[in-house]
Structure 1
Amino acid sequence: MPDKNVLLEVSNGVARITIDNAEKRNPLNVATVTELIAAFEEAQANDDVLVIVLTGAGDRAFCAGGDLKAGKDGGPFTGDISQPGHFVVRLFTLMENCNKPIIGRINGHAMGGGAGLVCACDIAIMASTARIATPEVKIGLFPMMIMPQMMRVIPRRRLLEMYITGEPWSAEQALEYGIVNYVTEPEALDTKVDELTSQIIARSPSAVRLGKYSYHAMQDMTIEQQFRFAETMLPRIATTEDAREGFSAFLEKRKPNWTGK
């Protein structure tokens, strides 16, 4: 049985997905992306999972981006031109449509496709020693596949600077530019991740699920379309079992017992 490039661990409502190739700095190739897709699909389908954490093995790299040594059939820069849908696009589409919160545990450098993965997460916590960059221009390429996700997160001028210069940014710069939510010392990374997962698990699963769905649905609408969509979604959320339980718990001054329905 071939070695797995991605590990999935589920415990106490948290699915932890790890790119497990620390020796090569957790690169992306066909095999790894295929396993990432399978891991996200499994976590999405598991009703016991309330939040997903994406990280890389080791402490040097979160993800080094495209595997330049994978060869023409395994690297992220080639594909079957007769088939629609690049395998990297399938991964990012899956993450975009995932109705469970995705936390990026950025344990080390995030390069190229790794930077795209950071932006594809809903929340990101970065170790202070980590760096983020899109160095594709240094080898005559441009970060096409990750651009849609990154354009939604990073301001235009900063993103163009990042792409055109290919120079790395520090964790502090990533925080300043809104790429990550928090920066911690490496030894405090898991503490912050645990804090956030605990907060999410304590909230209504149905509210989080429908709320994230609504956010992604509305982000490309006109403001009038957003208002119309919001008008239809609010009554839907308000009539869930979780909403009724939330109202009752508030009035009775107790903790709610969520069913996720």
Structure 2
Amino acid sequence: MSDKNVLLEISDGVAKITIDNAEKRNPLNVPTVGELIEAFETAQNDDNVLVIVLTGAGDRAFCAGGDLKAGKDGGPFTGDISQPGHFVIRLFTLMETCNKPIIGRINGHAMGGGAGLVCACDIAVMSNTARIATPEVKIGLFPMMIMPQMMRVIPRRRLLEMYITGEPWSAEQALEYGIVNYVTEPDALDAKVAELTDLITARSPSAVRLGKYSYHAMQDMTIEQQFRFAETMLPRIATTEDAREGFSAFLEKRAPEWTGR
């Protein structure tokens, strides 16, 4: 039996990253986050990977959030104050700067840090039996580490309600509030994720990569800065091999053969 907390499987352009501790509801602690960082770095650096899927083992939990039992020996609520950069923040920074699309396969409950992981993904598909919540206030804490990612996804009043009450939301509410893209029956979850990965792997890798890079670069700029950045990026994308191939394929009425360059 493997002592790994995170599994990485790569096949047909898709890297599937699984938090593999279903017995404890896939919690986050120092070893697990370290393995997640390693898995994302591997997927990011593999030219054959076009899309990343993040999920949890089992069907009860996507991620239960911070490992409360780990405490000072590895939980996310403590850290070495002499060192800059909390390990959870390193993971979210890596996901934020990853230039490959990340799909969250939300197979079960997403609590605390798990809710943050949902929001850190670019696209999310959720089982209709799953719930999402930030219950930290119930134990005298507040969801600091995940706030930057969640503020970018969830409307202000909804997010504050979630944080201050700590009450869970259904998958249907998560869809209504824009936290996830799709909600499915549990047995249809994989089919919907596969539909999305098939669409993405059929698209230009360089266009997706540069497009995601541009989106994240522009999101905190003023509108004037966004205009200037867009002016420089469009000619760059238009001169890639993929763009030339895309134009040729369109004119010749054939399917493009992408190189990713």
TM-score category of the 2 structures, normalised to the smaller one: over 0.9
Task: Give the structure 2 partner of residue 188 of structure 1.
Answer: 188
SS of residue matched to 1:72:
helix
Q: CA deviation digits over 1:74-110, x for unaligned, max 9?
A: 0000000000000000000000000000000000000
| Helix, strand or coil at the partner of 1:132 | strand
**SS at structure 1 position matched to 2:191:** helix
Residue 179 of structure 1, CA deviation:
0.1
Q: Residue 15 of structure 1 contacts residue 43 of structure 1 at CA under 8 Å; is this kept in 2?
A: yes
How many angstroms apart in 2 are the aligned matches of 1:182 and 1:74?
34
> 5+ residue gaps in structure 1?
none
Q: Give the match for residue 203 of structure 1.
A: 203
Question: Hey, what's the Cα distance between the residues in 1 that align with 2:259 and 2:118?
Answer: 30
TM-score (norm: length of structure 1):
0.99
Q: Deviations over 1:137-162 (max 9, x none)?
A: 00000000000000000000000000
**CA-to-partner distance for each residue in 1:43-90, whole Å, 9 max, x for gaps?**
000000000000000000000000000121200000000000000000
Give yes or no for contact 2:16–2:53 (8 Å, CA) kept in 1.
yes
Aligned to 2:107: 107
Q: Is the 8 A contact 2:116 2:149 kept in 1?
A: yes
Q: Hey, which bits of structure 1, 4+ residues long, moved more than 3 A? A: none
Asked whether the 8 Å contact 2:71–2:77 carries over to 1, the reply is: no
Q: Is the 8 Å Cα contact of residues 73 and 79 (structure 1) preserved in structure 2?
A: no
Paired residues, number:
261
**What runs of 5+ residues in structure 2 fail to find an aligned partner?**
none
Secondary structure of the structure 1 residue equivalent to 2:195: helix
Q: How far did residue 41 of structure 1 move?
A: 0.1
* Aligned-pair CA distance for 1:2: 6.9
CA RMSD of aligned residues (A): 0.8
How far, CA to CA, are the matches of 1:197 and 1:39 in structure 2? 18
**Contact conserved, 1:131 with 1:168, CA < 8 A, in 2?**
yes
> How far off is 1:237 after superposition?
0.1
Is the 2:71–2:78 Cα contact (8 Å) retained in structure 1? no
% identical aligned pairs: 90
Judge conservation of contact 1:65–1:114 (CA < 8 Å) in 2: yes
Normalization by structure 2: what TM-score? 0.99
Take 2:49 and 2:2, find their aligned partners in 1: how far apart are those partners?
A: 27
Distance 2:22 2:2 in 1: 17
Q: Is the 8 A contact 2:55 2:105 kept in 1?
A: yes
